[in-house]
Chain A
Amino acid sequence: MNIYKFETKAQLKSFLVWAFSLLALFLVFAFAFYDMFMDSRAAVLEALNSLPPVFSAMFGINMDILFSYSGYFQFTYTYVALIGAIMASSIALSAFAREKRSKCVDFLFSKPVSREKLFFVKLLSCLTLIIVVNVLFIAASVLSFAVNGQDPSKMGVLILASSSLFFMQLVFLSISILYAVFAPKVRSVSGTATAFGFAGFILSALYSLIQEDFLKYLSPLGYFSPGTVFSTGSFETGFVVTAAAVVAASVALAYFKYCKSDAQAI
């Protein structure tokens, strides 16, 4: 329990910074910009109508999909997910590389607590933080859904769609745990976490640009997409399986390494 408290408390400050950034971004986008976006529908229609109909068909802009709550939610989610990914990575890196970084692995490992237990307590502390931010995020999405006058019977779909963030963060959490346990040295938690998050962001952007299938499986940011949930009612099975495999494999590998590795003394 002491370890749990210590871990959670040590993360608190940066957790607040991340949670604030994530929620503030979502709220600004979902409230301030949503109306502005919807209002621009007329201008787009006008622009399209000024062209010959052949052209506007060719551009393939589906007005009802573009100007829908779900389309806009997917756009906002791209950036929320980016911050969420960086957040999950930095939580995992800072929990699992803390002793390595401050060069006190021997101190912790010589305490009368098994390494197995240490691993799980650290994991539990990370999960707690992620669950808290996701509960807040889902609450914020429900709020924006209700305020923007959407059909209340679709609330279940919305909640599933906004839980994308949670599953995506689990993937980033487990990959970062793996990295933190295996890397010989973690110099900068925030630098590595930012690199992880933006690597995911650029991979999914690259996928949307070049449409190669293998890239899709390489970009964990896109495994869980609210857009898919809004249109089909569930996540894509292939990605759910991939994500589960990635999480299970990373956590298992990290667990064995953490329990067996040599404890460095200075």
Chain B
Amino acid sequence: MNILRREQRAGRKAFVIWMAVMFFLCFAGIVKFQSYTASGSMAELLASFPRIVMAVMGAAGLDIGTLSGYTALLFYYVLICAVIYAVHLGSSAVARESIDKTYEFVFTKPCSRGRVLGLKLASAYIYLFLFCAFNAVFSMLAVAYLKTSEDVGPLILLFALDSFLIGSLFVALSALFASIVKQPEKGAFFGNLAFLYAFIIGVVYNMLDNPGLLKLAAPFNYFSPQDLIAGRFDPVYAVITLLLIAASLYGTFAAFGRKDLT
């Protein structure tokens, strides 16, 4: 329990800074929303375009004339932030003590490695959960401030769930990378590289009409904004995400138990 408390304290400053940034992003973004009059036909028109044109025009099949489309676009950026934060959380859960050269202190305590790692990862997940929850709250406040008739509360919750799931995946992945590599700093490097590639593959995915299996490599697109707006949360990809998280965490514990701490 003390370890968990210490970890929470170590991550507090970064968390507060992130929250300030997200507060600005949510408010500055949502408050500026203006609905277009012709939004109904806009959505129809956009849907009839080839996907590559949509991607180049900068709105992947979203009608930003409606509050739900606009929120979806904004939450795409929130998702990016959540994943950057998640990579930081995951890799520092494994490698922070090595980088700060304090691992000798914590790993000689009468506590198994697995337990220490488990608590550190638990702390990472707590922060990620708070991150997504706070974002949902900020967006709801911003929407309430707008006083529109459109109710996007459930949509915001779905997006929060989406960013928590995808964020969790990246916590687990970057923890895995950090526990496999020899140099502590390289783990964060691979985590960030994985994030960047997932992002780019997501862009390419949005350009193709028949992406097929490419979707598996594009976690940013596991839950499409169109589905979420329609209130659907794809169960197949939810299961795939959970399986990937479980596999990565299993790998993390296995690799970390045998790791040379240097």
Contacts and interface: CB of A to CB of B under 8 A. Distances in A.
Interface string B20-33: 00000100110010
Given A79-B200, A190-B192, A202-B25, A71 B56 contact: yes
Nearest to B88: A191
B202 to A, nearest CB: 11
B73 to A, nearest CB: 7
A40 B41 contact: no
A205 B188 contact: no
A17 B92 CA distance: 22
A25 interface: yes
Contact of B91 (A72, A191, A198): A191
Chain B interface residue count: which class?
Answer: 35 or more
Nearest to A185: B100
Nearest to A25: B200
A23 B200 CA distance: 13
A189 B200 CA distance: 21
Nearest to B24: A206
A21 B193 CA distance: 10
A128 interface: no
Contact of B45 (A25, A59, A194, A208): A59
A209 B50 contact: no
B164 interface: no
A217 to B, nearest CB: 15
Interface string A119-157: 000000000000000000000000000000000000000
A24 to B, nearest CB: 9
Given A44-B50, A59-B45, A202-B25, A190 B77 contact: no
Interface of A: 14, 17, 21, 25, 28, 33, 36-37, 40, 43-44, 47-48, 50-51, 55, 58-59, 66, 71-72, 75, 79, 83, 86, 101, 103, 187-191, 193-195, 198, 201-202, 205-206, 208-212
